Structure 1
Amino acid sequence: MHATFVEQSDPLAAPLLAELAFEYSSRYGRTRDEMYQDLVTYPSEEFGAPDGALLILVEGENPVAGGAFRRYDEVTAELKRIWTSAEHRRRGLGRTVLRELEHEIARRGYSRIFLTTGPRQPEAVGLYLASDYTPLFDPTRRPEDIGVHAFEKSIALSASPRPREFLSA
């Protein structure tokens, strides 16, 4: 498995966008095509250097997980589009994506991460809580009563590359 940074239009990003469109439509009611159009017409420069990035984890030749970040403000990166292929869930790939993105975010000079997820994505909420993100909402309330679930995390600045111990030859 290896990690690679790509442009939004790269074929490796296509499964991420297609599955996210399906997931969002099945959970929030808009059509898959509407969701897909929102995703593919989002300004790709938001996820480009120097302020952002789109990461894909590739196993063999297949994209299996990914995620992106963009500039939120001078010190904050915003995570977007965290995804694991339906066939590859429950393998810790979401955590791997988060670690890789956090490292790149720190390398780019950000000291804080912000993100939001929806009330019908309990798996995402669980991932962020288990990855030491601080909820900016009352987690004892019902998800539907909260609406958008915002999180934050402070990170240490780093200029050195992190070993990629999860990658195998």
Structure 2
Amino acid sequence: MTYETIDTTPLDPIARPLLDALQIEYATRYREFRTDSAALVSEELARYPADLFAPPEGAFIVIVRDGETIAGGAFKRYDPTTAELKRIWTHAGERRQGLARRVVEELESRASRQGYRRVYLTTGFRQPEAAGLYIRTGYEPLFDRSIAPEIHFRLPFGKDLLEPGSIDSLSDLRQPEPLGQRS
């Protein structure tokens, strides 16, 4: 099977399967914790203008196989030295095949070429697969792991791209308190 990685924009129709699936997945996973999860997810997905995910400060990619969008993700500028990963997704029927890892690696590569030294991201507490992926790909949890994940709600992670494994450069990204539902 051949996969094609395409640099694009959230406005491109090729990105629609990714955004539609994220909408459903997030709303479903968090509906018991958010009274109007579908509306909140829609608001979150529309929160950032598409141009934030375009070079020179961002990127948006999809992975296509046989004309079908099966994975993708993006990053935007977090601060002058840090890219923030967003919208990492793999089609439900294509998971556990290394596609999310590939998306993360592709985005890290682009972020590095665009001059970023670090990567930051948050994932939800009801997404243990994502948290596991980030830990396996060298991301440092930037939250107190002794506190129940649902207290944090959003779980922040960081990675030094120039010195993978180094955590010294991530100290300013650490969260002093849990990232609750409405932070």
TM-score range, shorter chain: 0.7 to 0.9
- Please state if 1:61 is matched with 2:67: yes
Aligned equivalent of 1:23: 25
**SS in structure 1 opposite 2:57?**
coil
Give runs of aligned pairs for residues 150-161 of structure 1, distance below 5 A: 150-156=156-162
Relative to structure 1, the CA distance from residue 34 to residue 150 in structure 2 (aligned partners, 3 Å threshold; closer, same or farther) is closer
Out of 95, 105, 110, which is 1:89 matched to? 95
> Contact between 1:17 and 1:40, CA under 8 Å: does it hold in 2?
no
Tell me what 2:12 maps to.
10
CA distance in 2, matches of 1:34, 1:72: 22
CA shift digits 1:26-82 (9 cap, x unpaired): 112234355235424631111011100101011110010000000000000000000
SS in 1 for 2:79: coil
Choose from 48, 52, 65 the match for 1:42. Answer: 48
After superposition, the CA RMSD in angstroms is: 1.6
Q: What's the % identity of the aligned pairs?
A: 45
Structure 2: 5+ residue stretches without partners: 164-183
Give the TM-score normalised by structure 1. Answer: 0.87
Within 1, Cα distance between the matches of 2:40 and 2:23?
Answer: 8
TM-score, L = length of structure 2? 0.80
Aligned residues: 157
Between 1:134-143 and 1:108-117, the stretch displaced more is: 134-143
Gaps of 5+ in 1: 158-169
